[in-house]
Amino acid sequence: MNILITGGAGFLGARLARALLAAGKLSLRGAPARAIESITLADLGPAPADLAADPRVRSVRGDLLELVQRRDLPAAGTDLVFHLAAAVSAECEANFDLGMRSNLDTTRALLEACRALGSKPLFVYTSSLAVFGQQPGGKPMGRVGDDSLPTPQGSYGIQKFIGEQLVADFARKGFLVGRSVRPMTVSVRPGRPNGAASGFFSGMIREPLAGVQARVPVGPETVVAIASPTRTVEGFIRAAEASDADWGPLTAINLPSLTTTVGEMAAALERAGGPAARALLDWTPDPAVERLVRSWPGEITWDRARVLGLRADADFDAVVRQYIAENPEAVRLTVR
């Protein structure tokens, strides 16, 4: 089996690749498991050293749209594409053209290139909860389910929803097999902050545990739907494994979520790192970030993912403990 992961050098892309390589084989659409022969990681930057050292891994660097337009990707014989590469929320609000190029033009070009293969590869598309949004002056969204009407309130969400529809139509036409998933806000991400408006959901845990102050631009009452990196990658892989009958309609599914508040996240930080960690939180509002984040839903249902056997994190304390266990070198405070 030959797999392409766009955004493959990024945090989730690399984590997905490691999970696949560790398994060594994968069942596509409910068929008998097959050995994974190659994984191509496409990204602007280099693959992490551990992945680059694996003979099954091929790293392709460059602008994804240009690589696809030249038909460098996907290679003939590609069985499965995980399309993770994207410009993130705040970037898309700040730079409209960047968002349209990265999230719309590139997605369509990649779908067309998969169609041109003629082999109907399986295409797993990572959408976003940002396809849902609180309409100004409208009634509260309440709980949002798999089939709730998307009403995105930002360029990123609009681009992701268009991507969902393109994947569904390419699949309906029989050009490929399409599966769209909506991940929750992923926390805690290690490493450097990214340009996402939701980035502080990781930063408010990661930075204080490292002894660094972190800004929290929204109020403690803000409700958020969270998923750990482990649960998120499980959802990506299950989307590829599910049979057509188990998957169901071509519309996107919500991945499992843990509903919490920013205040509860701060409390979990204190339970892990003590008062010294919580004292490093700077509760200075950012109206632009707050407006965007508050437009996203916090109460999510994920019935289709549950039927597929997926599950949410038990609580946010468990998410924090997972981060500490996986990134001991990044923790400077004494943890409990």
Q: Catalytic positions, please? A: 156
**Cβ-based neighbour number of residue 335 at 10 Å:** 16
- Alpha-carbon distance 33 to 20, whole Å? 12
- Alpha-carbon distance 107 to 110, whole Å? 5
- Alpha-carbon distance 293 to 222, whole Å? 9
Return the closest-CA partner of residue 187 out of 159, 225, 151.
225
Residue 260: its H or E element: strand 258-261
The tokens describing 270, both together, are 């204190």
DSSP at 37? -
Return the closest-CA partner of residue 184 out of 261, 103, 107, 130.
130
- Alpha-carbon distance 256 to 67, whole Å? 33
- Alpha-carbon distance 240 to 242, whole Å? 6
